[in-house]
Amino acid sequence: MDWGMKNRLSQLMPQGKCFFMPIDHGYFQGPTRNLEQPGETVKPLLPYADAIFVTRGVLRAALDPLTSKPIVLRVSGCTSMVGKDLANEELTTSIAEIIRLNASAVGLSVFIGSEYEKETLKNLATLVNQCEDYGIPVMAVTAVGREMDKREARYLKLCCRIAAELGARVVKTYWCEEHFDQVVNGCPVPVIMAGGPRCETELEVLEFVHDGIQKGAVGINLGRNVWQSPHPVAMAKALRAIVHDNVSVKQAHEILKQTKDSKPKAKA
């Protein structure tokens, strides 16, 4: 691994652990609740995140380059919630633009098992070919579109392994209740957990994150379960403690309660 690649990965994953804050949802969902003004949403959460996962449009328009964290740039898209198929993505951002924006890494979705499996995997291979020349890590996101029932170990470990085989340096995937350790152990590159739809309770978020970290995930990429929480700062602080300090669920829940008691609630 060359120096540039190693340096970028160490920035993104200090001590081999990471908490990425995704605010890229608007690329297919539009102005998602609590993400209408993404710059304002993410500002109080920056102290707890290691990197921000964001599109180039929001990066340019809403984030301060002098105070922001390292950037993982979302570089796939061209579909929407109202379109026919979320899996029909293409690459949206050139390597020249990636370099100009000083991205520490890039991320794109792959839709394995969909009608557009080959196209999205080709997107991944193309992006790896371009980015490796410049020491820029590629994060593959094992997306499932609207088919959330695919989030089980047999499917996820297939997706993660294929993404790694095609050259992804990091894989973002969903946690699953059973056999998540098999998903991680079958993937030769670091695995980061996605959040998915917002959980019903704060404790539920802490429990699944703790379980995933204990089973080998190096970190998290959680958005809605943080900035749609009534107490986003408290949630971010508690999650960071699980990822970076290896605290228990009970300890993290106590951090959350203590922090939210001292902070005003987010706007509904």
Catalytic residue ranges: 172
The backbone torsions φ and ψ at residue 105, rounded to the nearest 5 degrees and listed phi first, read -160, 170
82 sits in the region (left: phi over 0; alpha: psi -120 to 50; else beta) called alpha
Structure tokens at 148: 């959330």
Ordered alpha helix ranges (H), 44-116: 56-62, 95-100
Q: Which residue has the tokens 């008691």?
A: 261
Q: How many CB atoms lie within 10 A of CB 33?
A: 12
Closest CA to 221 of 160, 189, 174, 184: 174
Cα–Cα distance for residue pair 101/30, rounded to 1 Å: 22
Structure token pair of residue 172: 């973002």
